[in-house]
Structure 1
């Protein structure tokens, strides 16, 4: 199937196709390698946490912060 053919499908069918593709990728995760830049980003974030430049939030706090920013903006 071509990209054009996929684009012509109804949204519900495209979502189903996407879920099928995602499931097949998850089933073969040992074959998928993260790009090197993922490791670099993670290392930088850990350095920021270790130095105290960044902090972590649980989901409840993060969600509330995003909601407040959306209301203000």
Structure 2
């Protein structure tokens, strides 16, 4: 059963706060959520690309800054 939320009455900020509460709740028990098979496949492909020297890791702070610069 889906909970009934007053989405039409909620502000964007309230909706985002609701998403954060839900995500926080879900993240406390990650074993309950099974990752789809394609997640593992993509990770394996990316790992192989790194090993072949075709790709590289970016630290999270640098990646966030690049995304912000591109989007803003």
Please state which band the TM-score falls in when normalised by the shorter chain: 0.5 to 0.7
TM-score (norm 1): 0.67
Name the residue aligned to 1:11.
Answer: 12
Structure 1 unpaired stretches of 5+: none
Name the residue aligned to 1:46.
Answer: 47
Cα distance in 2, alignment partners of residues 27 and 59 from structure 1: 22
Q: Secondary structure at the match of 1:56?
A: coil
Say how many residue pairs are matched.
Answer: 66
Would you say 1:27 and 2:3 are equivalent positions?
A: no
Cα distance in 2, alignment partners of residues 10 and 61 from structure 1: 31
Cα distance in 2, alignment partners of residues 26 and 36 from structure 1: 19
Cα distance in 2, alignment partners of residues 52 and 14 from structure 1: 42
Structure 2 unpaired stretches of 5+: none
TM-score (norm 2): 0.68
- Name which one, 1 or 2, has greater alpha-carbon Rg: 1
Structure with greater helix percent: 1
Q: Which moved more, 1:22-31 or 1:32-41?
A: 22-31
